Amino acid sequence: MLADVRAGLLNVEDGAQRELPPKYFYDHRGSLLFEQITRLPEYYLTRVERALLTARAPDLMASLRPGALVELGAGSAEKTRIILDAMRHVRLDAVYVPVDVSAAFLDETARRLRMEYVGLRVIPVVADISDHLGLPRATARMLPSPVLYAFLGSTIGNFHDDAAARLLGDVRSGMTGEDRLLLGADLVKDVAIIEAAYNDSEGVTAQFNRNMLRVLNHELGANFDVDGFAHQAFFDRKAGRIEMHLIAIRPQVVGIPGAGSLVLRAGESIRTEISNKYDRPRISKILADAGFQIAAWETDDAHQYALVVAAPA
């Protein structure tokens, strides 16, 4: 975290964008705030993905018959239950491996699932997937095949395309020809709909955004004045992505032990997240760069969101 703060906040050239990685949203409070976001009327992503999973998971699981489900950025695994239910219909020896950076939250998810799905082996893995999946070898070796890797919620959108291809390429390198990837991807649409999803009327997304400063205060002993920052989210049409920023409302001098002092002018911003919105050619390119081909592409009627099944190319 200190290295990211030094590189993204302090050692930034004049005029360059200050930036922090979105993984720092997700302490326990941040994970709960994200859960609240998923229930907001404006945040269509979760709703549409859930509907797609409900419609498609039974047929998909009947044809794939996965022995293991490995989920990147599992969070509460709320929608994952749709997949687990469908898996149970076809196999009873399944293993579920939720991977997440939010350790305490992951622990709760695993405990809940073990209670709800008696007999399901749940093997939580705390890992930062920014660079690679990082599944412990012993875990990877004991998974009954075929393995279904899931990356839901359009969390892929929080990665630049080259980083997304690197991560999926790492997933691909651990796969056999029978394994599959199930990817959720938010699609480009009316800008007003996208921007509303990241500027909700209850201000939950603003709290989620500011939570990153609380995390830095708590983890590093920094003294960010959390209320001195405004939430901003806007769609960049050219880049095809939402950007979330925290804007200093007034001049700030922030002490960050071990890193130094961060001096911000009023109006200066810190970018906390990008959230890419895709079309099929862009997803195909990321998948092809990672060594995959599209086996199925399902969208809702309004083409808001895609559920993609990818197979090794």
Q: Which of 5, 9, 33, 34 forms a contact with ligand SAH (CB under 6 A)?
A: 34
Angle between helices 44-64 and 80-90 (to 10 degrees): 10
Contacts (Cβ under 8 Å, ≥6 apart) of 156: 164, 168, 183, 184, 185, 276, 286
Looking up tokens 């239910």, which residue turns up?
85
Q: What is the C-alpha separation between 160 and 243, in angstroms, rounded?
A: 12
Q: Which of 130, 139, 199, 217 forms a contact with ligand SAH (CB under 6 A)?
A: 130
**66 near ligand AVI, judged by CB under 6 A:** no
Closest CA to 7 of 309, 275, 260, 266: 260
Question: Residue 278 binds which one of ligand AVI, ligand SAH, none, with CB within 5 to 8 A depending on kind?
Answer: none
Q: What is the C-alpha separation between 57 and 182, in angstroms, rounded?
A: 10
**98 near ligand SAH, judged by CB under 6 A:** no
Tell me whether residue 29 or residue 282 sits nearer to ligand SAH (CB atom).
Answer: 29
Q: What is the C-alpha separation between 187 and 25, in angstroms, rounded?
A: 23
Which residues between 141 and 170 bind ligand SAH (CB under 6 A)?
152-153, 155
Q: Which of 31, 158, 207, 211 forms a contact with ligand AVI (CB under 6 A)?
A: 158
Question: Residue 207 binds which one of ligand SAH, ligand AVI, none, with CB within 5 to 8 A depending on kind?
Answer: none
Q: What is the C-alpha separation between 209 and 244, in angstroms, rounded?
A: 8
Q: What is the C-alpha separation between 253 and 266, in angstroms, rounded?
A: 11
**305 near ligand SAH, judged by CB under 6 A:** no
**102 near ligand AVI, judged by CB under 6 A:** no
Q: What is the C-alpha separation between 129 and 73, in angstroms, rounded?
A: 8
Q: What is the C-alpha separation between 83 and 149, in angstroms, rounded?
A: 11
| Nearest residue to the partner ligand SAH, using Cβ | 153
Is residue 299 within 8 Å of residue 184, measured between CB atoms? no
**9 near ligand SAH, judged by CB under 6 A:** no
Q: What is the C-alpha separation between 153 and 300, in angstroms, rounded?
A: 15
Tell me whether residue 46 or residue 252 sits nearer to ligand SAH (CB atom).
Answer: 46
Q: CB of 54: closest distance to ligand AVI in angstroms?
A: 19
- Select from 60-68, 72-80, 216-224, 225-233 the region that touches ligand SAH (CB under 6 A): 72-80
Question: Residue 275 binds which one of ligand SAH, ligand AVI, none, with CB within 5 to 8 A depending on kind?
Answer: ligand AVI
Question: How many other β-carbons are positioned within 10 Å of the β-carbon of residue 224?
Answer: 24
**Whole-number CA gyration radius for the chain:** 20
Q: Which of 5, 9, 37, 216 forms a contact with ligand AVI (CB under 6 A)?
A: 37
Q: Which of 20, 42, 102, 244 forms a contact with ligand SAH (CB under 6 A)?
A: 102
Q: Are strands 241-248 and 180-186 parallel, antiparallel or unpaired?
A: unpaired
Question: Residue 100 binds which one of ligand AVI, ligand SAH, none, with CB within 5 to 8 A depending on kind?
Answer: ligand SAH
Q: Which of 128, 162, 202, 279 forms a contact with ligand SAH (CB under 6 A)?
A: 128
Q: Which residues bind ligand AVI (CB under 6 A)?
A: 37, 45, 153-155, 157-158, 198, 205, 208, 273, 275
Q: Which residues bind ligand SAH (CB under 6 A)?
A: 23, 26, 31, 34, 38, 46, 73-75, 79, 100-102, 127-130, 152-153, 155
